[in-house]
């Protein structure tokens, strides 16, 4: 059987580990692995190549994705989707593994309903915003990157008695901000999912400053669009010199953590095993409560991910 793997949407650490495991595991199973380069755009243009071991040698520790990725407006056109399907057929490809996030799976949902496409998605996004799975590939590395940055910012904040507002990624999901704030001991966390209680926070911080607090760290999710607002408020209300740090795309890059490498292997093996035994699959591999499973694409795209309420309660941002 011939199977292909592709990346779609934003990159995340661990994608190369998944690509390598895909190729190595298929050869071990006696099957044919193919690589789709440049994501959905490459699928449309036929940038598909049978993989050899040398294509994936030495990529395990690298960030980014050697087969690259893309977002494609053309894929919204039915004619281009047919062209993409015909390109798979030309190579005799029986199944497709897709490393992607919410947008990628929505595209695959449409694709699989139009054509007899056998595919399995691997949740791959640092945003960790895919319904049905507690964990997405790349999240651990991104959190480690943010943690390291926040630790360093704390050093200078405490030295100069300043407030720092750090913006983290996550689109409309505040997962990275919540977990990073918990792990760094931030005084403030602002996310899209919960209204920020500014009066209560102001009262608390002024009391702490009066009793010796000399610095403040605020973690703000990019989806709130409140980074500048929080910085201005801290400067004016707390009378504390304030700096803004936008971490940006450094959160996407870097060598994947040991955990992300292991999860890449786990996700990929399960995706391949499922494709090899399925005549028609439109599933996504999910991870919950320490175990792996499969969830239908309809459930994934028709429901909204929600942050674990326990994490929100730990921040006391529900009060």
pLDDT for 37 beyond 50? yes
DSSP state of 153: H
Q: What is the mean pLDDT of residues 123-133?
A: 96
CB 250 within 8 A of CB 232: no
CB 217 within 8 A of CB 200: no
| CA 160 to the chain's CA centroid | 34
Whether 127 is catalytic:
yes
Residues 6 or more apart whose Cβ sits within 8 Å of residue 80: 44, 72, 74
pLDDT for 318 beyond 50? no
pLDDT for 33 beyond 70? yes
pLDDT band at residue 317, thresholds of 50, 70 and 90? Answer: low
Annotated domain spans of the chain:
2-138+256-303, 140-252
CA pair distance 218, 232, nearest whole angstrom? 12
Residues 6 or more apart whose Cβ sits within 8 Å of residue 308: 134
302: left (phi over 0), alpha (psi -120 to 50) or beta: alpha
Q: Looking at residue 161, what is its pLDDT?
A: 86
CA pair distance 166, 184, nearest whole angstrom? 12
Q: Looking at residue 278, what is its pLDDT?
A: 84
| Cα diameter, the chain | 71
* 241-254 tens-digit pLDDT: 999 999 999 999 99
Q: Looking at residue 319, what is its pLDDT?
A: 43
pTM of the model: 0.94
Active-site residue identified among 94, 102, 127, 140: 127
* 251-273 tens-digit pLDDT: 999 999 999 999 999 999 999 99
* 81-117 tens-digit pLDDT: 999 999 999 999 999 999 999 889 999 999 988 999 8
DSSP state of 50: E
Give yes or no on whether 2-138+256-303 and 140-252 have one common fold: yes
CATH 3.40.50.450 fits 2-138+256-303, yes or no: yes
CA pair distance 254, 141, nearest whole angstrom? 8
From the number of C-beta atoms within 10 Å of its C-beta (0-12, 13-18, 19+), residue 263 rates as: buried
Q: What is the mean pLDDT of the chain?
A: 95
Q: Looking at residue 173, what is its pLDDT?
A: 96
DSSP state of 94: -
Q: Looking at residue 14, what is its pLDDT?
A: 97
For the beta carbon of residue 113, count every other beta carbon within 10 angstroms: 11
* 138-189 tens-digit pLDDT: 999 999 999 999 999 999 988 888 999 999 999 999 999 999 999 999 999 9
Q: What is the mean pLDDT of residues 186-206?
A: 94
Domain 140-252 CATH (choose: 3.40.50.460, 2.60.40.10, 3.20.20.140, 3.40.50.1820): 3.40.50.460
Q: What is the mean pLDDT of residues 276-303?
A: 93
Return the bridge partners of 47, or none. Answer: none
From the number of C-beta atoms within 10 Å of its C-beta (0-12, 13-18, 19+), residue 95 rates as: buried
Beta-sheet pairing, 291-296 with 282-288: antiparallel
CB 15 within 8 A of CB 51: no
Question: Cα–Cα–Cα angle for 104, 109, 111, nearest 5°?
Answer: 95
Above pLDDT 90, what percent of the chain? 91
Q: Looking at residue 248, what is its pLDDT?
A: 94
pLDDT for 20 beyond 60? yes
CA pair distance 184, 304, nearest whole angstrom? 27
Q: What is the mean pLDDT of residues 188-194?
A: 95
From residue 210, how far is each of 101, 157, 214 by CA, in Å?
Answer: 45, 17, 9
pLDDT band at residue 66, thresholds of 50, 70 and 90? Answer: very high
């Amino acid at each position: 059987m011939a199977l292909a793997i592709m990346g779609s949407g934003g990159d995340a650490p661990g994608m190369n580990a998944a690509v390598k495991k895909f190729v190595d595991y298929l050869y071990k199973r006696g099957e044919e692995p193919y690589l789709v380069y440049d994501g959905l755009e490459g699928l449309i243009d036929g940038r598909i190549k049978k993989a050899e071991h040398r294509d994936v040698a030495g990529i395990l520790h690298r960030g980014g994705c050697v087969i690259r990725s893309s977002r494609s407006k053309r894929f919204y056109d039915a004619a281009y989707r047919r062209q993409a399907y015909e390109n798979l057929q030309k190579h005799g490809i029986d199944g497709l593994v897709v490393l992607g996030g919410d947008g990628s799976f929505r595209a695959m949902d449409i694709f699989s309903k139009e054509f007899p496409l056998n595919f399995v998605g691997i949740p791959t996004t640092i945003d960790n915003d895919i319904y049905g799975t507690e964990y997405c590939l790349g999240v651990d590395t991104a959190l480690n990157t943010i943690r390291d940055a926040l630790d360093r910012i704390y050093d200078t904040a405490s030295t100069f008695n300043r407030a720092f507002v750090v913006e983290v990624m996550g689109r409309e999901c505040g997962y990275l901000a919540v977990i990073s704030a918990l792990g760094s001991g931030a005084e403030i966390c602002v996310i899209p999912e919960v209204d920020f209680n500014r009066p209560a926070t102001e009262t608390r911080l002024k009391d702490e400053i009066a009793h010796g607090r000399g610095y403040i760290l605020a973690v703000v999710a990019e989806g709130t669009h409140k980074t500048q607002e929080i910085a201005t408020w801290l400067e004016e209300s707390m009378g504390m010199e304030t700096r803004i740090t936008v971490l940006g795309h450094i959160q996407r890059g870097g060598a994947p953590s040991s955990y992300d490498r292991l999860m890449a292997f786990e996700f990929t093996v399960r995706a391949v095993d499922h494709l090899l035994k399925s005549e028609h699959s439109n599933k996504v591999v999910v991870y919950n409560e320490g175990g792996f499973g499969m969830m239908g694409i309809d459930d994934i795209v028709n429901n909204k991910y929600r942050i674990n309420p326990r994490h929100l309660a730990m921040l006391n941002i529900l009060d």
